[in-house]
Amino acid sequence: MKLHLVIGNHSDVGKARERNEDYFGSFSGDFGNLLVVCDGMGGHKGGEIASRLAVETLKNHFEKLSEDFNPAEEIKKALQEANDSIIETAERDSSLSDMGSTVVLVLIRDNLAYCASLGDSRIYLVAENSIRQFTKDHSLVQQMVDSNMITEEEAKDHPKKNVITKALGIDEALEPDMLEPLELKENNKLILCTDGLTSTVNKEEILEQVENNSPQQASQKLVDLANERGGADNITVQVVSFSSKKPAEKVKAISGNNLLMYSVLIIALLALTLVLIKFEVISFGKEPQKTLENNIGTIQNKTEDKLNSNRVIHKTKKDSIVNESVKSDSLIKNNEEEAIDEQPNER
């Protein structure tokens, strides 16, 4: 049974940093599905460049592969390429000499998840309403916890909690943690995140959000929760859920410009229809051909009536002129007769 994926993600600069040095990506192709989260570090812009460079190098590596490959081996090769790329870039620019990046990576292929990590970014697995951390931090405080020097609770506020022991761009010889392939099941969920989330939000709270929200909503709410608690670091979260049901296709939203264009078009069509109805060019409830013939006949009749009206007007005017002329002649004649009658008799 093939499982379908739903992926959600969100990243935020937080409340204390000027720029977001986290970077993430989710990609799909013949190789399967690839999810990556990186947390950059070092220099003025070093961390921002390192995390982006890592994600892009990993993406490019898998996109060049054929369908037949060994997932674990290719993950190692891809991470080594990312490591080499960061080191070479730093060597060309002295201002980037201290840059590096953590990385957590999940390659999903044939219902199996192949996971790898370097640094203190994490992967969590949610299954059967429980959550467990699937990766181990490569950090100084984790080594101290493993050596029973401090407790996990003490590690949360330890002054050295940001010191990491493994990352991309630190050493040429790379030793990532490669976890055993995870067989995915219905309703399983994976969470990839940076320490900007886990330093303030515990795993029980992460479980609550991913169990009660869609992957996208859960990612947003987890980032918001970290910001509500100070947002001392950049925060990045990716959540992926697995289901035998194919997710419904999203309806493409109409952009503001398109909505305006469609509104204007509809109004113009309505206005044109009203004009045609007013002048009886179109009519409802009649046969199309008869309606057209009737409209043509109506127009012809109106034209003839107008012409006849014009003739009457012209005739009336002409008659008025003639009548006036007759009246004038009669008046002149009468005047002449009166003049004759009024002449004195000659003696």
pLDDT digit string (tens) for 278-332?
Answer: 666 555 554 444 444 555 455 455 555 554 554 443 433 334 433 444 444 444 4
Distance of alpha carbon 33 from alpha carbon 106, whole angstroms: 8
Selecting from 3.40.50.720, 3.20.20.70, 3.40.50.2300, 3.60.40.10, what CATH number does the domain 4-243 have? Answer: 3.60.40.10
For residue range 80-133, what is the model confidence (pLDDT) as tens digits? 999 999 999 999 999 998 999 999 999 999 999 999 999 999 999 999 999 999
Bigger pLDDT: 37 or 245?
A: 37
Side chain identity at residue 13, one-letter code: V
Which helix (DSSP H) or strand (DSSP E) does residue 26 occupy? strand 22-29
**Alpha carbon 272 to chain centroid, angstroms:** 36
CA–CA separation, 326 vs 329, rounded Å? Answer: 5
First to last CA, the chain: 147
Confidence (pLDDT) at 282: 56
Convert the pLDDT of each residue in 215-224 to its tens digit: 999 999 999 9
Strands 112-118 and 177-178: antiparallel
Please tell me whether residue 281 adopts helix, strand or coil conformation: coil
Contact (CB, 8 A) for 26 and 236: no
pLDDT in tens, 150-164: 998 899 889 999 899
List, for residues 39-84, the tens digit of each pLDDT value. Answer: 999 877 899 999 999 999 999 999 999 889 999 999 999 999 999 9
User: What length does the chain have?
Assistant: 347
On the question of pLDDT at 20 being above 60, the answer is: yes
**Amino acid type, 305:** D
